[in-house]
Structure 1
Amino acid sequence: MPLPIPVPGRFALLFAAQFTAVGVLMPFLPAVLAGHGLTAQQIALLLAAGSAVRLLAAPAVGRGADGFGDARTVLVLAAACATCTVTGFALAGGLAGLLLVAVLHAMVSAPVVPLSDALCLGAARERGFDYGRVRSAGSLSFILAAVAAGQAVEWLGAASTVWLAAAGFALTALAARGLPPLRAGGGGRGGFRAPFASPAFRRILPLSALIQGSHALYYGFATIHWQAAGLSPGVIGLLWAEGVVAEVALFLWGRPLVERLGAPGLAGLAAAAGLVRWGVTAETAWLPALAAVQLLHALTFGAQHLAAMRVLSGLPPAQAATAQTLHSSLGVGLASGLLTYASGPLYAAWGGQGFWAMAGLCALALPLVWRLDGAVRTVDAHRS
């Protein structure tokens, strides 16, 4: 039975649950793998393997959800399976065993976030609530989870974060089960090619690849880098959480900014912020400087995410799950996988200076903003 609370609240619970899992895994999974004796290159291999699997798994499941017409059921099953597979990061041993766990977990967890976004955007269109405000529950959950994970690592060891993640995925399955029977796509036709008919969709993909992909070294090695610089796990958890505080503020109160800038302006703001953030991170591990630039996560991640959601929300509802999962794979996953794999040798060779390469990706994104602006203006002209 659906939960006896308003629909926006149900989606807020869904995002809060799934980002509990993300909030404990993203900062500390590399440390868990390092605790199993893996080298930097092996850690990069496992993280990249997971990203590679998501490239195929997410669009396949998304297309199936559009054809099946019941993305909620697909989401429940995916989250339930992820609950089981994530425990393997604590139980398995050796490179081969952990690689198998990484592949299986990526396969079942890949559609969880994009299907949630597709369902929420569809419900927001139908019922008139603000996607950003609802999505902020996920960011707030990420903050609390990252802080809790930092303390858990200090008290119980890195492997404790795996069990926290399993609890998050289990709650995600329960929250998804409590959603109303909304359709993400409703059996739309056109296959994987349909979203590419939109010029704005084609333009947002490389922007997300460059800007979101620029987080690869941060996600893979920031914790290890900061630990080597002498920062404690608790402080590192606070640094991860601090950046998301500003992201929450953007999601909660940034609607006027989103309406004013539109997708192109948001993407340009995200790219410019990335230049500053990764440049400073490359040059220093001084805590006050890190605390200052961590606030830019609201722009490097949050603004680009909202830019992409604005583009995707303009596509036909029958393409919702397909478009979301294609963006998750081609717009984020492909670049993140390649860059995550590259980040191992990059960090091994250059250490923190490798963040300059991430800044360079954001510089490459800036000229592409103009192409997105032209595509969006063309779509708006046709609508008017």
Structure 2
Amino acid sequence: MPAFSWLALFFGAFYFVYGAYLPFWSLWLEGMGVSAEQIGMLLGVGMGIRFAGNLMVMGRIKGAGQLLPVTRLLCLLSLLAFLGFYLGHSLWWLVVLTLVANFIYPTLMPVGEALATRMVIQTQLDYGKVRLCGSFAFIVASTLVGTLITDLGSDWVLHVMVLGLALMVLLSWLPLDPAPRDVVGERARPSLRETLKSAAVRRFLLVTALLQGSHGAYYGFSAIHWKAAGYSGTAIGYLWALGVVAEIAMFAADKRYFSRFGAQTLFLVGALGCLVRWSLLGASTDLTLLLLAQLLHGVTFCISHLGAVRFMTRDLPPEQLIGAQALYAALSLGIMVAALMTLSGQLYGPLGGGIFYLMALAVLPVFFLRRHVDMGLSGRD
């Protein structure tokens, strides 16, 4: 199967599952009788263990040829892990399963991204277009699950996820053509520690950690906050879907309109979007402001993520791609989100929507740091 089609299906299946998990897992936990503080702890622990999972799994991948077998194994183990949530709902059982599931399942994200960035190098793949297939699947799942929660209850969050994971297992075994391979003349892949020695990589990770980490309150508590304000599960699903519609628009426009911009410019735009978006969400639950804030998801997440992809594919040598992808997933999309999500859980009780103002403060250093992201590398921007 051509690389574009394979990756479109893979991203579609992964983000269909993620579209059920990310907006609504907190509501599933709430339906199991878990308190807001415990939800924050579970979500934070889950995001934190991604750090170990991403580094341990990605750190053991010695070359591009290992990406596909690892993907297939992770799909199967992810399905088995989430099936375990049917077996019990005690707090300690939820803690154990949260650790196991989040060690395995989220690692599919950096592995999939590593496959995609490898295909950008091998086949000049249009990353934005293939990635938007995942965003579209996220919309389908969030809208579907929001309706199912309203009509049938929060149990359907887990049901939809398990069905999606079963589909992922089947899709992962489709042949990929061309198979991922190391570039001719590519030097041996450095270790994660060696990759982290690069000052430019460290600055890149700090900037992206602040940008992506600031989504912690949104990922963990927007559904609970909006539900408390009187919005139904269906409405919450539509709000999340609107955010991803904006994301799709940005991914679709990437090659035509944004390809001339480097990482520094994209990070600046992402930071500005974060300041506005989190301020809006902290200020009000008025529907008009929520709609505007959700449209800004295309800036806060997508433009920031495109900046990360731009840095990794343009400003790094190919042999550092897998290592940088692992560190980006573990630190920027993992442990920083976990830390700010856990903090949001502790402060949601006394502050309510005020936790979003803290997320806006978190991105302020980006305005200085982003200017030094590619210093010593390509010099773009």
Are 1:182 and 2:180 matched, yes or no? yes
Q: Do structure 1's residue 36 and structure 2's residue 32 form an aligned pair? A: yes
The two structures have a TM-score, normalised by structure 1, of 0.93
- Show the counterpart of 1:329: 330
Indicate whether 1:138 and 2:139 are aligned. no
Change (3 A) 1:156 1:245: same
Question: Aligned letter for 1:207?
Answer: V
Give CA-to-partner distance per residue, 1:333-382, whole Å, 9 cap, x none.
1111111111111111100111100111122222111122x52xx3225x
CA contact (8 A) 1:187 1:318 kept: yes
Name the residue aligned to 1:342.
Answer: 343
Q: Which runs of 4+ in 1 moved over 4 A?
A: 184-187
Count residues with an aligned counterpart.
375
Structure 1 equivalent of residue 210 of structure 2: 210
What's the counterpart of residue 88 of structure 1? Answer: 84
Q: CA separation of 1:187/1:60 partners in 2, compared to 1, >3 Å: closer, same or farther?
A: farther
Please, which of 119, 123, 132 is the counterpart of residue 123 of structure 1? 119
In structure 2, distance between residues paired with 1:187 and 1:224: 48
Does residue 108 of structure 1 match 2:104? Answer: yes
Worse overlay, 324-333 or 255-264: 255-264
SS in 1 for 2:125: coil
Change (3 A) 1:184 1:245: farther
Give yes or no for the alignment of 1:170 onto 2:171: no
Greater mean alpha carbon deviation, residues 85-94 or residues 335-344? 85-94
Cα distance between partner residues in 2 of 1:163 and 1:184: 39
User: Does the 8 A contact of 2:74 with 2:108 survive in 1?
Assistant: yes
1:48 correspondence with 2:49 = no
Q: Aligned partners of 2:189 and 2:353: how far apart in 1?
A: 47
Structure 2 CA distance for partners of 1:162 and 1:75, relative to 1, 3 Å? same
- For residue 71 of structure 2, what is the aligned residue in structure 1? 75
Aligned to 1:240: 240
User: Is the CA contact (8 Å cut-off) linking 2:64 and 2:118 kept in structure 1?
Assistant: no
| Contact kept in structure 2, 1:87 and 1:163, CA below 8 Å | no
Deviation at 1:66, TM superposition (A): 2.4
Distance 1:187 1:340 in 2: 38
Residues 257 and 264 of structure 1, relative CA distance in 2, 3 Å threshold: farther
Q: Shift of the alpha carbon at 1:63?
A: 1.6
Give the superposition deviation at 1:200: 3.3
Q: For residues 265-314 of structure 1, give each alpha carbon's deviation from its aligned partner in whole angstroms, at most 9, with x where no partner exists.
A: 11110110111101011011011110111100001000111111111224
The answer on whether the counterparts of 2:64 and 2:182 sit within 8 Å (CA) in structure 1 is: no
Q: Does 1:284 align with 2:280?
A: no
283-292 or 61-70, which moves further after superposition?
Answer: 61-70
Answer yes or no: is the 8 Å Cα contact 1:146–1:238 preserved in 2.
yes
Paired position in structure 1 for 2:94: 98
Higher mean alpha-carbon deviation, 18-27 vs 198-207, is at 198-207
C-alpha distance in structure 1 between counterparts of 2:301 and 2:343, whole Å: 20
Q: Give the whole-Å Cα distance in 1 for the aligned partners of 2:232 and 2:182.
A: 43
Question: What SS does the corresponding residue of 2:34 show, helix, strand or coil?
Answer: coil
Aligned 1:359-374 pairs, distance under 5 A: 359-372=360-373
Bigger drift between 189-198 and 13-22 goes to: 189-198
Shift in Å, 1:107:
1.3
For the 8 Å contact 1:142–1:241, the answer to whether it is kept is: yes
The structure that is helix-richer by fraction is: 1
Amino acid at match of 2:164: G
Q: Which whole-Å CA distance do the structure 2 matches of 1:234 and 1:60 have between them?
A: 38
TM-score (norm 2): 0.94
Secondary structure of the 1:260 match is coil
Quick one: distance in 1 between partners of 2:170 and 2:9? 10
CA distance in 2, matches of 1:216, 1:327: 16
Partner of 1:27: 23
User: 2: CA distance between counterparts of 1:342 and 1:151?
Assistant: 30
Stretch of structure 1 that moved more, 267-276 or 119-128: 119-128
| Structure 2 gap segments, 5+ residues each | none
Q: Pick closer, same or farther for the CA change 1:188–1:79 going to 2, 3 Å.
A: farther
Letter in 1 for 2:369: L
Task: Tell me if 1:259 matches 2:259.
Answer: yes
- Residue 101 of structure 1 aligns to which amino acid in structure 2? L
Q: Displacement, 1:169? A: 2.0
For 1:301, the aligned partner's letter is F
User: Following the alignment from structure 1 to structure 2, what is the Cα–Cα distance between the partners of residues 25 and 266?
Assistant: 28
Could you tell me which amino acid in structure 2 is paired with residue 38 of structure 1? V
Moved more, 96-105 or 49-58: 49-58
Return the offset for 1:190: 2.5
Letter in 2 for 1:80: L
CA contact (8 A) 1:210 1:361 kept: yes
SS at match of 1:200: helix
* Residue 158 of structure 1 pairs with residue 148 of structure 2: no
- Change in Cα spacing, 1:29 to 1:324, as seen in structure 2 (3 Å) is same
Q: Contact 2:63 / 2:182 at 8 angstroms: preserved in 1?
A: no
Tell whether 2:305 aligns with 1:305.
yes
Q: String of CA shifts for 1:126-172, please: whole Å, max 9, x gaps.
A: 11221111111011111111000101111221111112112222222
Identity %: 34
1:262 to 1:216, Cα distance in 2 relative to 1, 3 A: same
Cα deviations across residues 78-121 of structure 1 (Å, max 9, x unaligned)?
Answer: 01111121233344211101111100101111320101010111
